[in-house]
Amino acid sequence: MNPEPIITARGVTRRFGGLVALDGIDLDVPRGVVQAIIGPNGSGKTTLLNALSGASHADTGSIRVGGHEIFRLKPYRIARLGLARTFQNIRIFENLSVIENVKVAAACNSPTSLFNILTANARHRHSEADIDRNAREALEIVGLAHRANDRATQLPYAQQRLLEIARALASKPNVLLLDEPAAGMNMTESMTLLDTIARLKNSGITILLVEHNVRLVMGISDRVTVLDFGKKIAEGAPSEVQRNPLVIEAYLGRRHRHA
Amino acid sequence: MGQLVVNGLALGSIYALVALGLLLIFNTVQIVNFAQGQLLMLGAFIGISCAVTHELPVAAAWAITMVAMALVGIVFMVLVYFPLRGRPAFLVILTTIAMGIVLENLALIIWGPLPVSLPSPVHGPPLRFAGVVVSMHQLFIFATLAVTLLLQFFFLTKTRFGILMQATAQDLHTARLVGIPVNRTIAVAFAFGAVLSGIAGLLVAPIFLAEPTMGGSLGLKGFVVSVIGGFGNLPGAVIGGLFLGLIETFGARYISSNFRDAYAFIVMIAVLIAWPRGLFGEKSSEKV
Amino acid sequence: MSCRFLKTSIIGATAICLSVGFAHGSKADAASCPSPIPLGLTTALTGNTALLGTQARNGVEFAVDEINAAGGIGGNKLALTTEDTGASSTDALNAMNRILEGKPVVVFGSMISPHVFAQTEVVTKSETPFLVGATNAKVTAQGSKWLFRTHVHDGQLADLIPEYLVKSLGKTRPGIMAVADDYGLGASRGIQASLAKLKAPPVAVTSYAPSDKDMSAQLLEIKDKDADSLILFGRPADVTLVLKQMNDLGIKLTTIGNASIVAQTTLNNLSAAEADGGYAIGGMIPQTLSDPKILDWSKRVQEKYKVPADNFTVSYYDTVYMLKSIIEKVGCDKSAIRDALAATRDWKGMLISYQADAQGDLAHTLGIYRNKGKTPELAGPIKESGY
Amino acid sequence: MKPPKMNSWPILAANIAAALAVPIVAHDGYIIQLLNIAILNAIVVLGLNFVTGWAGQINFGQAAFYGLGAYTTAIATKAGLPWITTPFLSVIVVMAASLMLGLPTMRLRTYYLAMTTIGFGEIIRLIIVHWEPVTGGTSGLRAIPGISIFGFGPQGQIQHYYLLIAVLLLAILIAARVRHSVLGRAMIATRDSEIAAEQSGVDTVRTKLLAFMIGAVYAGLAGCLYASSIRFISPDSFSGTQAILLMTMLIVGGMGSIAGCIIGAVALTILPEALRFLGQWYLVLYGLGVIAVIVLAPGGLASLASLSQARRASVH
């Protein structure tokens, strides 16, 4: 494992009015691992993901991805630096076909000019062919290649989640942020998803995972970070974290009481 | 100079009233009604039908107009809002614009194109001091704006219904789940929104005359005000309205009257470049 | 059929033209017309100029109905096709193209100059007499020999209003206020030029948009710049507001302007104090005359259209009758009608006589009016210099 | 917005053939003139489709860009410049104007953007109205020189018709090409979910601005052709009412669909002419009709057409 973490966040703070959603979070994600962020509802998991991906900037702090400072960078720049993500509430492009959804992200690093598009010159055809190939590969990985030409909205819910993952993969990311990827999936679908995540990890992508389903997380994560009320309360291997009394109190305990 | 301030504020008060009507609807269902100006026109003509054609006392004309406008608001909701719930904003914009076209041309068919005047509910010689003339009707406009503002503030923050309305605006789905009578709340918002523009129409008709095509430009100014003040922001609407009235009169007087309508838009665009959600910020629940 | 025959027989047509020139027409020609005789009219019936545009329709249609009720022209009824120009020049052009499909003997255009400008080329190409009321002075300067104007125009007003204000009313420091559309702005420029010639340059030149409601800024500017009079050029709706707000603001200036100041629509919405003393120069209006026949006519127009007849109604009404007398003489050949129109001398209309000039302008007599309370009074007709 | 299917080509070819045959059947001035205007409108609406249909940005300024192109052309040719320069001048002017408007406003949301573009249109209109020595003010500009490329130019309405059809086909081709390129996908992605597009590496601000500028260029070129084929222009043809009409054409025809743009533009240019006899009632019905289409057929008339086509296909 590369000693330098691919994500280094320091003192990330985010306030919404009077509410402190993230309170000075420090986070290190080593290269090539699957790291999970867990925590009860409203603990700041998605807010942290948004801060990392630039979707909703942190107020203060420093975030480095692959050595680049990305704090307050526009999301598309962060994406082009090799950080891709999926969304908790599915955000596919409803008016595009399945393959076109993926192509949007596949074009991430193939800049083109209007001139090339209008003249449909060799460079344009070349880059479109590249994009097409990348997109098909990404669909292949999540097992949606057979639905490439369908309209994205025609996919069932679970497959829309997979489509989001394929879209994220198409930008050839170093880091993949998955926001509750198994939400709304049944057991078999979840299992397939885990399988996919494992394969992605093996291909060298670092995965940061926000998940509600703790059991699902524990199985595949190398490291787990636990948030509560916008603070990091524990971090480490799944087995360590599971034994941490703070975590049991804050997260598992409360959950159990709910149940 | 003093006279310009008075006339600018009187004009601005009308803009503010249009904006207050827009706000009530926006604050509940997050829809900007581009037919608000035409509702104003309708209010003016209903008032004229009562007071001029049927020679009812002006007070009765006002009462009938307000009731009629409440009904118009509800009909408007059924025709325009219900079928478009949850559809993209530009479809809503276009639908309300289309509704405005329908209202304007129906009014032309019913009342004809001639401008008509409505008697003011207040009479008496104008006040004069230091060369500045303030007519009774202008005072009445200021008073109506103040009362409307206070009532609306009280209604939205202190009454059960107002709070329900705000809750509905925050999250329609949840509001329904927790048992808020959502449809009734929305109906009340549309009814009051229409009544407010009806009042604006009744106030405009005595000084500016009423004609079926009057709604377009007044409605547009109401939106400019809403944009400057920030959509759905109560003080923003009033301050924005008065501000716009002053800008127009002073701009027309000291820069050039040729570009009077441009000042409103130039100020609006300048405000938006500096503050993309208006001077006072938009009061809406942004979901990330 | 016979019309087409006439059209092809150039010699015959020329002979008829000549005969018209010397007013030797014979009634037999009207019998050669198609039955019914197709006439076309395009004017604004919808959109923001509809209030104005319907006056053209009212005038033309009222006359056509009267003529048809009386048996038509030489037994041939008139068939009027009316098309709405809406509010845009593109629509006006479409409307005219459509009218021309029906091969009318004559087309009437509206008083809205941009629409007439848009239409002139196609009408000229179709070689159809084009009778308009468009008030922009340049309308007849387009070089179309088919275009005739039967209403007075801005150029005349731009000369006469300043002249009357300076020479007869003795004012030297006028402020100008004009509606910012083709009507007002064109006139405003002409008036400024005339005032400069009269050595009484305006102290303030202002305008307002047709949809503007608050005129106080402009009025206060004119007052602050110490004007001794106001030249007001607008439509009835906005002229009403200006006069009203002048009175509200306590600004007392000698006001003179176009016919809107004395229009019935304006006066209906003004108090006596607000209207009193306003001067207007413009096309003649029927209301001020005591002739019972004219008063009865304007009453019938008002009853039929719910809108009071104005200067435009009169001029369009006259135009149809002028056309009738021409067709009775020369028949339905379009170029014969054109030539007859160009040769018009002292044709007596309801209020004024028409006389064609080289450009195709037929109306040269205007009225000077003054409001006494809410009642306009005719101070006297005035003729364009040279007539 | 669906990917192109091979079977759409015969339909396109049939439509082109039908369009080319129109002057044979209807050789009269009125209909051809009307169709010419419909084609120009279609080009402007195709431009609007980039901005609103694909990138999802409300734009009530399209009529102003149309007007800018028309006035640039009219002023330039009346000043004696050769016609061939006018498309370039028009493009330069509208690009500059669209950048001026677009750069600061592309981050604005729906209603704010709607109002800003309405304001822009109004400001342009006021400048045209009051800058009389150059623009002819409200009277407009007359006798604009016609299209002429090194002495050759279309004569009469039918030749103009063929020229405009050719330009329209080019406009369609470019639109289709952009649609199926990186840029077109980025536009639609931006419309569907701005944040997801950003996180997929799409510079949404640049994408919106490009859509806005391409849209403006379409309008500007259509304006150029309008001025030199109708040969008379006045501000009322490019007013706010016209902007709303253009938006209506787009939505009634079918937002995001190239065919929809053309259907909408042609339908709403011809319909008012066909229904002129209704007078004031036409506008009432027009308003109600727009509402009905938005409510009942969200995909516009184009979606109805493709629906019935699909139904027919399933029958056979």
User: Is residue A34 within 8 Å of A40, Cβ to Cβ?
Assistant: no
Average pLDDT of chain B, as a whole number: 87
Q: How far is D275 from chain C (nearest CA, A)?
A: 11
C15 or B120, greater pLDDT: B120
Helix (H, G, I), strand (E, B) or coil at B210: strand
Q: In this predicted structure, what is the pLDDT of residue D72? A: 97
Q: Domains, chain C, ranges and CATH?
A: 32-152+294-356 (3.40.50.2300), 155-282+367-383 (3.40.50.2300)
Q: Pseudo-torsion of CA A178, A179, A185, A190, nearest 10°?
A: 40
Torsion over CA: D65, D68, D72, D78 (sign): positive
Domain range annotation of chain D: 14-238
Q: How far is C137 from chain D (nearest CA, A)?
A: 11
C-alpha distances in Å from residue B32, one per residue of A197, B75, B79, D61, D162: 45, 17, 15, 19, 43
Q: How far is B272 from chain A (nearest CA, A)?
A: 21
pLDDT digits (tens, 9 = 90+) for B123-162: 888 888 888 889 899 999 999 999 999 998 888 888 887 8
Torsion over CA: C313, C315, C317, C319 (sign): negative
User: Is residue D51 within 8 Å of D101, Cβ to Cβ?
Assistant: no
Q: In this predicted structure, what is the pLDDT of residue A257? A: 45
What is the 8-class DSSP label of residue D151? T
Nearest to C121 among D137, D232, D236 (CB): D232
Amino acid at A187: M
Cα-to-chain-centroid distance, residue C162:
20
DSSP D172-228: HHHHHHHHTSHHHHHHHHHHH-HHHHHHTT--HHHHHHHHHHHHHHHHHHHHHHHHH
B100 chain-D contacts, CB cut-off 8 A: 287
Domain range annotation of chain B: 14-214
The rounded distance, in Å, linking the Cα atoms of D97 and D75 is 17
Q: In this predicted structure, what is the pLDDT of residue C379? A: 87
The rounded distance, in Å, linking the Cα atoms of B276 and B269 is 9
Helix (H, G, I), strand (E, B) or coil at B31: coil
User: Is residue A82 within 8 Å of A175, Cβ to Cβ?
Assistant: yes
B31 or B104, greater pLDDT: B104
Q: In this predicted structure, what is the pLDDT of residue A176? A: 93
- φ and ψ at residue D112, rounded to 5 degrees: -65, -40
B162 or C220, greater pLDDT: C220
Query: CB distance B253–C221 less than 8 Å?
Result: yes
The rounded distance, in Å, linking the Cα atoms of C264 and A175 is 78
Find residues 109-138 of chain D whose CB sits inside 8 Å of chain C.
Answer: 129-130, 132, 137-138
Nearest to A114 among D183, D185, D195 (CB): D183
| Closest listed residue to residue A22, CA positions, set A250, A246, A247, A227 | A227
B116 chain-C contacts, CB cut-off 8 A: 269
> Chain C contact for D203, CB < 8 A?
no
User: Is residue D122 within 8 Å of D240, Cβ to Cβ?
Assistant: yes
Confidence category of residue A253, pLDDT binned at 50, 70, 90: low
Q: In this predicted structure, what is the pLDDT of residue D27? A: 60
Contacts of D9 (CB under 8 A, 6+ apart): none
The rounded distance, in Å, linking the Cα atoms of B134 and B127 is 5
Q: Pseudo-torsion of CA C55, C60, C62, C68, nearest 10°?
A: -170
Peptide bond into C36 cis (omega under 30): yes
> Chain B contact for A50, CB < 8 A?
yes
Find residues 180-209 of chain B whose CB sits inside 8 Å of chain C.
Answer: 204, 207-209
Question: Residue B288's closest chain A neighbor by CA?
Answer: A56
Amino acid at C161: I
Confidence category of residue C231, pLDDT binned at 50, 70, 90: very high
Confidence category of residue A113, pLDDT binned at 50, 70, 90: confident
pLDDT digits (tens, 9 = 90+) for D202-254: 999 999 999 999 999 999 999 999 999 988 999 988 998 899 999 999 999 99
Ranges C96-110, C198-212, C302-316, D269-283: which has the least confidence: D269-283
Cα three-residue angle B279-B283-B286, rounded to 5 degrees:
115
Q: Tokens 């209604």 belong to which residue?
A: B155
| Closest listed residue to residue D229, CA positions, set D173, D169, D166, D271 | D166
Q: In this predicted structure, what is the pLDDT of residue C31? A: 62
Residue D40 pLDDT more than 50? yes
Question: Residue D125's closest chain B neighbor by CA?
Answer: B262
Helix (H, G, I), strand (E, B) or coil at A235: strand
A9 forms beta bridges with: A27, A63
Could you give the ipTM of this predicted complex? Answer: 0.87
pLDDT digits (tens, 9 = 90+) for A8-57: 889 889 888 778 888 888 999 999 899 999 888 778 888 898 999 988 88
Confidence category of residue B181, pLDDT binned at 50, 70, 90: confident
The rounded distance, in Å, linking the Cα atoms of C169 and C166 is 6
The rounded distance, in Å, linking the Cα atoms of B28 and B231 is 12
pLDDT digits (tens, 9 = 90+) for D53-99: 999 998 999 999 999 999 999 999 999 999 999 999 999 999 999 99
B8 chain-C contacts, CB cut-off 8 A: 217
Ranges A226-240, C23-37, C304-318: which has the least confidence: C23-37
Q: In this predicted structure, what is the pLDDT of residue D306? A: 67
Confidence category of residue A252, pLDDT binned at 50, 70, 90: low
Q: Which two tokens stand for residue C70?
A: 């009386």
The rounded distance, in Å, linking the Cα atoms of B191 and A88 is 38
| Closest listed residue to residue C248, CA positions, set C279, C216, C280 | C216
Average pLDDT of chain C, as a whole number: 87
Question: Residue C47's closest chain D neighbor by CA?
Answer: D280
Nearest to C216 among B3, B116, B117 (CB): B3
The rounded distance, in Å, linking the Cα atoms of B181 and A51 is 38
pLDDT digits (tens, 9 = 90+) for C236-280: 889 999 999 999 888 999 999 998 999 888 998 899 999 999 999
pLDDT, average across residues C152-172 = 92
Q: Which two tokens stand for residue B14?
A: 């009308």
Query: CB distance B113–C306 less than 8 Å?
Result: no
Q: Which two tokens stand for residue C29?
A: 């020609």
> Chain D contact for B109, CB < 8 A?
yes
The rounded distance, in Å, linking the Cα atoms of D67 and D227 is 9
Q: Which chains touch A (3 or more CB pairs under 8 A)?
A: B, D
B7 chain-C contacts, CB cut-off 8 A: 214, 216-217, 220
Do chain A and C touch: 3 or more Cβ pairs under 8 angstroms? no
The pTM of this model reads: 0.89
Residue B283 pLDDT more than 70? no
Nearest to B209 among C211, C269, C306 (CB): C269
Nearest to D139 among C90, C95, C182 (CB): C182
Q: Tokens 């000075």 belong to which residue?
A: A24
The rounded distance, in Å, linking the Cα atoms of C359 and C55 is 24
User: Is residue C315 within 8 Å of C286, Cβ to Cβ?
Assistant: no
> Chain A contact for B178, CB < 8 A?
no
User: Is residue D129 within 8 Å of D251, Cβ to Cβ?
Assistant: no
Q: In this predicted structure, what is the pLDDT of residue A258? A: 45
Question: How many contacts, defined by CB atoms under 8 Å, are there between B and C?
Answer: 95
DSSP C328-364: HHHTT-HHHHHHHHHT--SEE-SSSEE---TTSB-B-
The per-residue b/e assignment along C150-185, b for 16 or more CB within 10 angstroms, e otherwise, is bbbbbbbbbbbbbbbbbeeeebbbbbbbbbbbbbbb
D232 chain-C contacts, CB cut-off 8 A: 89, 93, 117-118, 121
C-alpha distances in Å from residue C103, one per residue of A205, C72, C94, C118, D130: 78, 19, 15, 19, 38
Residue D278 pLDDT more than 90? no
Q: Which two tokens stand for residue A212?
A: 């509600």
Query: CB distance C237–B115 less than 8 Å?
Result: yes
User: Is residue C294 within 8 Å of C38, Cβ to Cβ?
Assistant: no
pLDDT, average across residues B213-236 = 87
The rounded distance, in Å, linking the Cα atoms of A207 and A200 is 8
C-alpha distances in Å from residue C107, one per residue of A26, A164, C96, C122, D146: 83, 66, 9, 12, 26
Q: Pseudo-torsion of CA C281, C285, C287, C290, nearest 10°?
A: 90
Q: In this predicted structure, what is the pLDDT of residue D26? A: 67
Q: Tokens 């159990």 belong to which residue?
A: A256
D280 chain-B contacts, CB cut-off 8 A: 105, 108-109
% residues pLDDT > 70 (chain B): 98
